[in-house]
Amino acid sequence: MFGEVPEGYALVDMPSWAWGGKPQGLFADAGVRCIATDDPGRWLVQTNERYRRQRPDLVQHRELAGPGARRPDFSYLSSRPHFAAHESSAWALEELAAREERVSRTGNPVHAFEAMRLRLLLAEPAALAGQAEHEFTELLQVPLQDQPETKVFADAGAHVFERSASLVWRQKLPLILCQIWQDPLLQVGDIAHVGAAQARNELTFQSAHALADGVYLMDAYIGPLLAALSPSVWAFNVPRMFGSLMFSLGQPVAGGSSGAEEMLHHIGVPGRDSAMPVARLTPTASATASRWWADALNSMFAVTSDFSVFTDAAGVYLPRRHMTTILTVEQLFRRTTSALISERDTNARRVLMFTALDTVERLTTVQLENLTDFEHARAALEAISESLSQEAAEVLVPGAARAVQALEAVQDGFFLRRSLGTVDVELQVGTGVQSMTPRRAAALYLKALRDATHGHGARRGNSEDRTDALLAQHDGVLPHDLGLLAYLYLLEILVRPDRLREVLRAGCRRPRQSREGNIDPDRGR
């Protein structure tokens, strides 16, 4: 048996049949250093970056062209590996032709960008560099309608968000181990059914596959970045097998219109009720924000892909905890993106915000009533702003700032306080009165609305009167931008990777209770 596990290491149980009978090959592909222990099937592992005490190399940003680039470097795209065969079906090519015909017919810039994305999406690997350079050159030449000599996207840029193959394997390995945990044949080394599935060209290890596939194309993880200035759009991406090719426009453009753009828009739901001005960016703000985002993702993945974070007190790796963390993090990114782009539907944005805040609570251990507290949110915004350069903040901070302003405005909804002339909110609870500041009342009011996901009315007797009193004293008007609170706290997680490491590590060291109150029997081996 191995003795005390050193800091930064984990004891990982891996079947001897894995990776063709050479599990060390799988660890190597995951960017993990492994040492066999005296215990058969158990390995002592440590990520390469921790072993070498160097910066992780899991996510990289590269500016191919733009105001911050010395010279265009689209040839870089030709060197990027493709981890799967690139396929362009006949149907996809027909769709592209139809989109290009529509552009020539309508002249609609939205249609033009759609056709541009499709051309880059379908381009063969050998042709991608040339196609990207051509599209970028065309983008730079788009004229202002009334002033042809003025170019709308003169400060446009081309960028690559690239994830390493090691990151893919680090995300996949815990899911593989969890599938083995549930497959009695794999547990005893019978892999015949796996080989049969491979012969049928089926995906063999599918545990939670569709809940954790955002890392392949990086679309899930750059979604909040692309939507950061919503309802304006400042960039768009093209998913490729190495990550994402992104084009920044240099200046944001309106992301939607007040009128109906498709038939579903004729079904009336409340959305934003006032116009939002389109921001102005300095020429290199897009590249600076993109580079910061990639660096932040790199630091975050260094935590969430570190096997030593997901170990019990004895240093034994817990793949189930690792799996659920991977799914939780991706869920937060995807739902935050959906909240950011839900400009036409306030109800959808609010529901997405609440479910995202539940996820934030899991990743930070900060309770919801604190996440909805104005002073707590303002402190988070200040910490975010202090960690960003002025140029990066031009893209990343406005949405978070609007969320904090909206949270402060929730306090104004306690109309009865104004009518009665009281400083605090005076809740009639039972036979007495509970007095609280508007700030505290607003935080509890939002918590009550989150709990109302299952229906209004508290089920616990000690909170029912207070919840009903809060509902009765507030006018129910909530700013549309309140739904951006999810984005605020996602940014805070990104600027504090060390705090994320502490929370995740502490969560694995605490015994997990079953519903019956017993210690979880599945910890460890």
In-domain check, residue 190: no
In-domain check, residue 398: yes
What confidence tens digit (pLDDT) does each residue in 100-122 have? 889 888 888 888 899 999 999 99
Instruction: State whether 335 and 441 are in the same domain.
Output: no
pLDDT number for residue 506: 94
Instruction: State whether 80 and 219 are in the same domain.
Output: yes
Instruction: State whether 467 and 371 are in the same domain.
Output: no
Distance CA 386, CA 418 (A): 36
Distance CA 68, CA 160 (A): 14
Instruction: State whether 455 and 359 are in the same domain.
Output: no
Question: Domain boundary at 287, 318, 341, which?
Answer: 341
pLDDT band at residue 515, thresholds of 50, 70 and 90? Answer: very low
Measured in residues, the chain has a length of 525
Tell the burial category of 236 from Cβ atoms under 10 Å away from its Cβ (0-12, 13-18, 19+).
Answer: middle
Instruction: State whether 250 and 231 are in the same domain.
Output: yes
Instruction: State whether 450 and 361 are in the same domain.
Output: no
Nearest to 339 by CA among 234, 494, 490, 453: 490
In-domain check, residue 111: no
Instruction: State whether 134 and 65 are in the same domain.
Output: yes
Q: Is pLDDT at 512 greater than 80 in this prediction?
A: no
Report how many domains make up the chain.
3
Instruction: State whether 485 and 451 are in the same domain.
Output: no
DSSP string, 301-312: HHHHT-GGGGB-
**Type of residue numbered 295:** D
In this prediction, residues 490-516 reach a mean pLDDT of: 85
pLDDT number for residue 153: 93
In-domain check, residue 361: yes
pLDDT number for residue 458: 61
In-domain check, residue 382: yes
pLDDT number for residue 462: 58
Q: E strands of 298-442, at which residues?
A: 425-429, 432-436
Q: Using the structure block, give the residue that is written with the tokens 């616990």.
A: 460
pLDDT number for residue 513: 54
Instruction: State whether 222 and 288 are in the same domain.
Output: yes
Nearest to 158 by CA among 76, 227, 82, 265: 76
pLDDT number for residue 511: 65
Domain that holds residue 66: 59-86+124-164+213-260+275-341
Distance CA 354, CA 445 (A): 13
What confidence tens digit (pLDDT) does each residue in 282-334 have? 999 999 999 999 999 999 999 999 999 999 999 999 999 999 999 999 999 99
Average pLDDT, the chain: 90
In this prediction, residues 490-506 reach a mean pLDDT of: 97
Percent of the chain predicted with pLDDT > 90: 68
Residues in CB range of 61: below 8 A, 6 or more apart = 159, 160, 161, 162, 290, 291, 293, 294, 295
Question: Domain boundary at 431, 454, 473, which?
Answer: 473
Question: Domain boundary at 341, 365, 395, which?
Answer: 341
pLDDT number for residue 459: 63
Does the global pTM surpass 0.85? yes
In-domain check, residue 103: no
pLDDT number for residue 287: 96
What confidence tens digit (pLDDT) does each residue in 163-192 have? 999 999 999 999 999 999 998 999 888 888
pLDDT number for residue 156: 96
Distance CA 455, CA 307 (A): 40
**Type of residue numbered 233:** V
CB 58 within 8 A of CB 167: yes
Instruction: State whether 147 and 285 are in the same domain.
Output: yes
Q: Using the structure block, give the residue that is written with the tokens 């950061």.
A: 228
Q: Is pLDDT at 10 greater than 90 in this prediction?
A: yes
What confidence tens digit (pLDDT) does each residue in 401-437 have? 999 999 999 999 999 999 999 999 999 988 889 999 9
Instruction: State whether 299 and 380 are in the same domain.
Output: no
In-domain check, residue 92: no
Q: Is pLDDT at 274 greater than 80 in this prediction?
A: no
In-domain check, residue 463: yes
Q: Is pLDDT at 162 greater than 90 in this prediction?
A: yes
Instruction: State whether 370 and 487 are in the same domain.
Output: yes
